[in-house]
Structure 1
């Protein structure tokens, strides 16, 4: 996979026209009239999922910047804020922050030259950049699907 293809997939999944259905942004437009605390049983709410998505995007951004010290500990409050309770304004703030992380991520990737960097190990990790960035794309798609289902309730 090339840098150009990674950029295209990030853009398509986030605010384009992916083949599988609605993009992240198209799905988030649908949640304006629903409760950001909506969840199934004891599951994560829309707000919690948005915070989670942002946390892992910031992780990718920091690793792209070369920061091997930045960490999101699995199942910590930084990973899943189980105490999160969100107003409509909080939800909009999270959506805005998600958009900001998209811009930051794309900006950092576009500054890279060539494609060989995609095969380099991510600082502080055992995997390569192409794995990390494909993971972010898949992670967004997975969680926006959850948000779309929660928005219907």
Structure 2
């Protein structure tokens, strides 16, 4: 098995598969209502909806970095987008659909890579090689870890509704 295939497998397991660490992101989100997703059950914590939007942002950022080989980051507004002011089930379903689309897009981009690409590093927006940046391998492992980290947060927030 090639390393790209292993990365795709782990990304899928974290998102919607048989994750080693516990329920996948999709399993953790199953059954959460719009009202629950928009709630702030823990003082100082993000809502589930905010976390889902944040995860979507980072799936897009990693896609953009891979496609452009440029270390583009999100703006503050992109990093933690605000959910709709009036949450409803339709908007919550749409947010989850956008998350899946971002996941599918990243999987497609990764699927076009070769194992030799995993040692690449991005350039700064001025197209200057950045020797301090992580390799694409580390970035892709990071997006998997990021998914698990926030899945754990969502699981804890869910417990507040039990």
TM-score (norm 1): 0.87
Aligned 8 A contact 2:60 2:102 in 1? yes
Work out which of the two has the higher radius of gyration on C-alpha atoms and give 1 or 2. 2
Alignment partner of 1:138 out of 138, 141, 145: 145
Q: What is the RMSD computed on CA atoms of the aligned residues?
A: 2.1
SS at match of 2:122: coil
Query: Against the structure 1 CA distance between its residues 84 and 45, is the aligned structure 2 distance closer, same or farther, given a 3 Å change threshold?
Result: farther
Runs of 4+ in 1 over 6 A off after TM superposition: none
User: C-alpha separation between the residues in 1 aligned to 2:15 and 2:55?
Assistant: 12
Deviations 1:39-84 (CA, angstroms, capped at 9, x unpaired): 21132111111111111111001111116274213xx121123575
8 Å CA contact retained: 1:14, 1:24: yes
Give 1:27's aligned residue. 28
Alpha carbons of structure 1 residues 112 and 82: separation in structure 2 relative to 1, 3 Å: closer
How far off its partner does 1:21 sit? 1.1
Which runs of 5 or more structure 2 residues have no equivalent in the other structure?
A: 125-129
CA–CA separation in structure 2 for the residues paired with 1:89 and 1:83: 13
Change (3 A) 1:30 1:123: farther
Q: How many residues align structurally? A: 150
Higher-RCO chain (CA-CA 8 Å, sequence separation at least 6): 1
Superimposed CA distance per residue, residues 114-134 of structure 1 (whole angstroms, 9 cap, x where no aligned partner) = x11001003435121111111
Gap runs ≥5 in structure 1? none
Q: Could you tell me whether the CA contact under 8 Å between 1:15 and 1:25 is conserved in 2? A: yes
Shift of 1:152: 2.5
What secondary structure sits across from 1:5 in the alignment? helix
> 3-state DSSP class of the match of 1:7?
helix
Alpha-carbon spacing, 1:83–1:7, altered in 2? closer, same or farther (3 Å):
closer
Partner of 1:72: 74
Q: Which residue of 2 aligns with 1:116?
A: 116
